[in-house]
Chain A
Amino acid sequence: MISLFLNCAKVWTHLVKWLCRITGRPHVTLSREPIPVRTSAKEPA
């Protein structure tokens, strides 16, 4: 085992917060819109 220390989890969280800030997306919300999907290929159109 190589024991380095880099708090990846913390860097990741800050990275995500930063990306959310520059893209104008909320970091955490209570809901988001469903993703539209095409009708299942196994179901009749």
Chain B
Amino acid sequence: MTATDTRTAEPDVLLLPENPPRLGPISRRLLMRPLAILVVMQALGAWLVFGNGSDTSVAAGLSLVFPGGGLLFVASPVLFAVSILLMVLALVLWWGLSAHAAIPTAWLVCLGAAVALVDGPRVWGDRGETWGWAISAVYALTAAALVGVVWRFEKRYRAKKRRIPELNAYLSSVELPHREPMVREPDQMDAELARWCHDLAMQPDDGLKGLDWGEQFHGGTQLRYQLNAFCWAMSVYAVNFVPNAPVQVERSLARLVEKHTDLRVWRYWRTLNLLGNFDPNPDPIVRDNIMFSAFFGDVINMYEAATGSDRFDRPGSLTFVWKDGRTFEYDHHSITAAVRKNFDRSALGFFPCEPGWSFTVCNIMGAQSLLGHDTLHGSDEWAQVKPRWQRTLDEEYLTPDGSYAHIRSNHLGLSWDTGEVPGGHYFSNGSNRFADILPDHARRAAALELRGALPKLGALAGMVKGGRLELELPEVPERHRTRSSALPSWNNVIAGSRATGHPDLHLAALDASSRQCATGKRWPERPLKAGASALAAHMLIRWSAPLSTATLNVRGYRPPAGPVLDATSWDDVLVIAARSADGRSLRMTLEPWHAPQPAPVSFTFRQLEPGTTYRCSVDGVVVGELVAEADGRASMSFPVTSRIVVEVTP
């Protein structure tokens, strides 16, 4: 078999620190900034409230103490409620659009409104009326808010810390399930999904039909992540299913990679850069934006590791053209260099997605992008960055129970549960879940993730009868909440069964998911009832055996052994599988792409043993013999009117 055996010896699982601090040293230092601002505002507010005594001064002071506090003092409870809503909106915009000025602006607007209304009319009461009790109320609210925040943080920290002995006992004794490398024959759904990917890729250059189109910031409709995921899926498909016929899949993958340079995919960055960095430069690679640069770097790593092509190593091979004609020319090396530079200049050690916000998942992708480049090109970017990167992960983002905070402000050291991931924490994330960049961390994360899942998946495995799982899973809303699908739940079962070493459940879940979710439709509609992100995740999970993206990132490119299909009518015939199990013969699954091909189609092979006679059979029936030329090449023709299995054996 061309793909390599991925089995490795399992060392001990990393334990959790027994006495973790509440915050890492850098986060603690950063947190001094908002605390200092808060202290100054409280002091100034107190001076205005108690030191002067005029209504205007009290209204301004209370507005500093608590957002909109002065509006309560000037007897405007409705406006006070509006000010709270305004602050919530400002907080969401701060997170969502890096609008760092949103909260100060909203706070000042509320202050200005309170001062302006001191002598103004009232809805309830006389003109210029003030509520003296509001002073106590505002201070009580402020105290409650501060105590609430500290109490909530402390409660969570202590609860997690209490669990450390129990978790370490579990980690000391846990035996991670052994996963046998699985080589699977493609089924009809694999063929439909591969066809869909090729159709997506081969549409006109400016075509991006078939993705979920919506806003590009946070809503689950970002084109960049959808394209990333389809590229990853096609990369593992290339290496696991068609390693001995790389031409067609390389062509499609390259087109999908190039679609990342479509302005509709990266235009969002200028808005974020302007709002968050006050920088009008639309260049999507040079500064921050790790959610684009690192993900894209990782996509190119996967493309190169799967196909061996150096197409995107050439200078300017990936050129981004802005609306006004400005061009930003990049390639695999310069994208990697930009990621490295951003890591180097970040005080926190992780660098931002949206300006000012560093997400763990994106920085894992950043690490992967450096490692993959090192693997493919012999550089040492990851080795250089790794010590500091790991320190940031372990000291700044790790929480006592082994999970990592999803998000942190580079400017203020703040984190909170933004609702993007359950609880605002996870044990691992990214397409490779630490498996390539920090294998010890990956094992610990896997052990913690599987802790609750093992019994559930064991029970599900018991439901498999005769290779079939008679089960339908409930439909759940997808991230953008305009569509519900059972596929995300199936994805969890399929990935979980693989992670927990239940190959029978894995195969049965693939079959059951197809039975429940198949639509019978083709591109631009989807063969499975799901959003584009869930569909891409499904393909990635489905095709990640025996080699996963993590293995590929460490292994790099390996040329296929055995005969290789080198030329055919690539626009008419789809290669669903092409593998050599013994390094001498070739087994292919072919389908007509757009229409049956009743006339004989020519197939040219390379890497044959010169002078050797090969027997070619279609669906078990010998259709002819071919003799390899001195250059190891030979051709054969036969029609492709439906799905066929072709074997070329010496």
Contact = CB atoms under 8 A, between A and B. Distances in A.
Interface of A: 1-13, 15-17, 26-32, 34-42
Given A3-B149, A28-B221, A8 B418 contact: yes
Interface residues of B, number: 59
Given A1-B405, A27-B214, A27-B480, A8 B96 contact: yes
A36 B152 CA distance: 50
A12 to B, nearest CB: 5
Q: Main secondary structure on chain B at its contact with chain A?
A: loop
B209 to A, nearest CB: 4
A15 B153 CA distance: 28
B88 A6 contact: yes
B480 A32 contact: no
6 contacts: A1-B408, A7-B418, A10-B419, A15-B92, A16-B219, A32-B208
Nearest to B329: A42
Given A37-B263, A40-B321, A2 B149 contact: yes
B218 A9 contact: yes
Contact of A12 (B218, B424, B524): B218
Contacts of B326: 41
Nearest to B262: A34
Contacts of B524: 30-31
Contacts of A4: 149, 152, 416-417
Interface in B389-440: 399, 405, 408, 414-420, 424
A6 B92 contact: yes
A17 B373 CA distance: 40
A1 B544 CA distance: 36
Interface in B191-224: 206-215, 217-221
Interface in B236-264: 262-264
Interface in B258-288: 262-264, 267
A8 B267 CA distance: 23
Q: Which of A13, A17, A38, A40 has the most CB of B within 10 A?
A: A13
- Rank and list the top 5 A-B pairs by shortest CB-CB distance, nearest first: A7-B419, A38-B325, A9-B419, A31-B209, A34-B206
B96 A12 contact: yes
A12 B267 CA distance: 19
Interface of B: 22-23, 27, 31, 88, 91-92, 95-96, 149, 152-153, 156, 206-215, 217-221, 262-264, 267, 319, 321-327, 399, 405, 408, 414-420, 424, 479-483, 524-525, 531
Contact of B264 (A35, A38, A41): A35
Contacts of A2: 31, 149, 153, 414-416
Contact of B213 (A17, A30, A35): A30
Contacts of A12: 92, 96, 217-219
Nearest to A7: B419
A5 B88 CA distance: 11
A16 B212 CA distance: 15
A6 B90 CA distance: 12
B23 A1 contact: yes
Given A8-B95, A37-B325, A29 B416 contact: no
A28 B416 contact: no
B441 to A, nearest CB: 20
Given A6-B416, A40-B327, A1 B27 contact: yes
Given A12-B218, A31-B208, 7 more contacts: A1-B414, A6-B92, A12-B96, A12-B217, A16-B214, A27-B214, A31-B524
A34 B223 CA distance: 13
Nearest to A11: B92
A5 B325 contact: no
A8 B91 contact: yes
Contacts of A10: 419
Contacts of A26: 213
A10 B219 CA distance: 9
Contact of B215 (A16, A35, A37, A40): A16
Given A2-B415, A7-B418, A28 B264 contact: no
Nearest to A30: B524
A8 B419 contact: yes
B481 A13 contact: yes
B92 A41 contact: no
A32 B408 CA distance: 34
A5 B319 CA distance: 41
Contact of A27 (B149, B420, B482): B482
Contacts of B207: 31
Contact of A31 (B210, B215, B217, B408): B210
B446 to A, nearest CB: 25
Given A3-B417, A13-B481, A37-B322, A29 B213 contact: yes
B225 to A, nearest CB: 14
Contacts of A11: 88, 92, 419
A23 to B, nearest CB: 11
Contacts of A41: 325-327
A6 B92 CA distance: 9
